[in-house]
Structure 1
Amino acid sequence: LARQVEVHAYAHITGGGLEANLSRSLPAHLDALLDRTSWTPPAVFDVLAGHGRIAQKDMDRTFNVGVGMAAVVAPDAADEAIRVLAARGLHAWVMGEITQGSGQAHYR
């Protein structure tokens, strides 16, 4: 991806969820506003939440809920980034936006 699109940051989404992992890749003056409705987590997360009686907020803080990697690109590069990744068989989408802030990622 970085050979074809300028990538400002990557975040590998592991334990701690999307908010915590993406926050570590942001500079102190920017926030990531995430749109939770922009993707559908795999069904296994519904099973875990149901059997474990785990609230969505706790699921989001604990698991990657289907997002294994995030790449931060400029808005005008998003379509090209998605095209590049799709050409390699990877599912990609815009899941939010970067705004002025305090170095945190959070759901809208």
Structure 2
Amino acid sequence: MAVKQQFKSFADLIQNSEIPVLVDFYANWCGPCQMMAGILEQVNAQIKGKVKIVKIDTERYPQLASDYSIHALPTLVLFKQGQPTDRIEGVLAVEQLVQRLRANL
């Protein structure tokens, strides 16, 4: 399950993770973001333990959205050792997303 979590610092979250972190930048009013939530649950089930999925509400953390130039929602950003290594804008099918992630893990 994707985790909605409070954190001291986003930098800590992405740098101190032993596995890559996939960040789902979303907003509650965004229809495609709701679709993405279900897709991410299925993706998580398929690649459990290989990637940590974290949801960031761009309404609550506008500075983070700005820092990573998030203009379209949903936008997924994959971080490895604190660095963004892949970015996906819009909704992808479960299989496409799993493939894309596996290529980057």
Which structure has more relative contact order (CA 8 Å, sep 6+)? It is: 1
User: What is the TM-score when the length of structure 1 is the normalising length?
Assistant: 0.29
Greater Cα radius of gyration, structure 1 or 2: 1
TM-score normalized with structure 2 length: 0.30
